[in-house]
Chain A
């Protein structure tokens, strides 16, 4: 124990013996840890945002369709709300659900025309489920299912050279496969970070949609949110069992690209951490080997005075551990301050088209979660301790008679 307290003191003091060298390697390690944590926060932010956007932008956690709807999204492939269906949706794990009518349509303004997806929503149900209510920047959200207005995206309004209060005409196929159209006044304009969403989706109430299509009780899709992401798989299994005649899918299969981003992020994080650590480990080994080279006589002296080789090993190793912990404390602090400084995230609108393709919005938030922080810290501590063992072992293997005479 006494030898241990001696080597603890020696390790700490020796760390500061060559302040410049220790500072340089500490700086390099802090930079490495910063790169690990901040990149993890950026990637996590990107993945979670992609997931959030996917879930909020109409996909939800789980969707239920007519078995043919996803291949051919026409009015013929719709489902009807039944008691069995409503019962299946009334479980503890289902937080909210909403039924929608969703058909391809053409929108005409006084100036221009555009192809869109027309979505008939139940305002009350939808408000709990998707982004729409909170994304209104002009006008208002539907007051009830009797609301006769239309809500369009800001970008679509710009493209059509129309604005709030103006009328537009929506054209689609009715249940008899005839073209039908109807004029709607723009009562709301929504704004999202995703341009494709704004130009591609137009919202009316289900009642308006039924009148346009000429049929009641039609549902293209039912979207639902579970209590948490962890509940998705079990709820999916349950719904599939309860509704064998319907197509029930989770966001993972409905949006495979998002699933890919989330999965890729996990693998990338490991690879990135290992690359950064590899670079860092060269610094640790080099510094400790230099230390041993400079203090060879001292290690010989320690052995001559009776310090056992294992304590020499421990002394050099503890020096490495002190360095690691210092770098981790400062590195984590700097990373945390960096994340705070970025606020809501960084604006990548300069790459808007690329981000759109990757199903990402223009503002990427930095999100530190405890698992990512622990992973980065665990890699640095565990591999750092292993890395420190080699130079320490070298020091403990010195032959005292040779070491003591080394100039």
Chain B
């Protein structure tokens, strides 16, 4: 490991999340203490309702913990307002969701360029980068197709390309293979591992998929909102 590899990208300290469902308090996350280093490829596993997606949302700043602190690149996200959180997500985090996560009125290339456009990157530069990334994810020649004209696997590849194109510190993927057949899912995992190797992109993936669990560098098991095990593979 290099010095950069040991850099902390995510720090979760004593995270609790409680939802109020009528009179009942549901403890979605408890006592979460969790560090992620640059270049990690972490898989969050556990049964439905174990808190995987909730933890991912907290790390991504899409939801706020009831107590505890989360640091991204050393910055405590609880102290950021909505606009600053949006900025942090824009510049530091890439998201891949289970499905329906492309904008249907934009082409594959425009979907990829969208994040760079929001970042204020110049047209020709984002054009070049998006084409290179499309090539990397094996979608060369499909740049002008809109999401409905792409298969589920191709759509997820576009989502991966969009997540990594601006080289964020962290990519968060929530059940990225859930809607894919095993062959397409395997290719997607290959792609994410390749990105992790090539660009040292940090991945945190929430999944039920045993294929991802087997191939992740670190497996974090959750149960009833608590981390019950952390395995280096």
Contact = CB atoms under 8 A, between A and B. Distances in A.
Contacts of B86: 303, 306-309
Interface in B82-140: 82-83, 86-91, 93, 95, 97, 100-101, 103-106, 114-115, 117-121
Given A13-B105, A14-B105, A298-B103, A305 B118 contact: yes
A297 B162 CA distance: 17
Interface string A288-324: 0000000001101101111111100000000000000
A306 B115 contact: yes
Contact of A6 (B100, B118, B162): B118
B105 A297 contact: no
Given A309-B82, A309-B83, A404-B97, A304 B60 contact: yes
Indicate the member of A298, A303, A400 with the most B CB atoms within 10 Å.
Answer: A400
B62 interface: yes
A305 B113 CA distance: 12
Nearest to B82: A309
Contacts of A399: 62-63
Contact of B82 (A10, A308, A404): A308
Determine the main DSSP class of A at the interface with B. Answer: helix
Contacts of A400: 62-63
Contacts of B115: 305-306
A2 B115 CA distance: 10
Given A6-B117, A306-B86, A17 B105 contact: yes
A400 B61 CA distance: 9
Interface string A1-14: 11101100010011
Determine the interface band of chain A, counting residues with CB < 8 A from chain B.
20 to 34
Contact of A5 (B90, B95, B117): B117
Interface string A194-207: 00000000000000
19 contacts: A2-B119, A2-B120, A13-B105, A17-B104, A301-B101, A304-B95, A305-B89, A305-B95, A305-B114, A305-B118, A305-B162, A306-B86, A306-B91, A307-B86, A307-B90, A309-B82, A309-B86, A399-B62, A404-B62
A300 B115 CA distance: 14
Contacts of B105: 10, 13-14, 17
A306 B90 contact: yes
A95 interface: no
B30 interface: no
Nearest to B56: A401
Nearest to A397: B82
Given A6-B118, A308-B82, 7 more contacts: A17-B104, A301-B97, A305-B162, A306-B89, A307-B86, A308-B86, A401-B63
Interface string B144-180: 0000000000000000001000000000000000000
A304 B86 CA distance: 7
Task: Pick the 8 closest A-B CB pairs, nearest first.
Answer: A306-B90, A401-B63, A13-B105, A401-B62, A306-B89, A400-B62, A401-B57, A308-B86
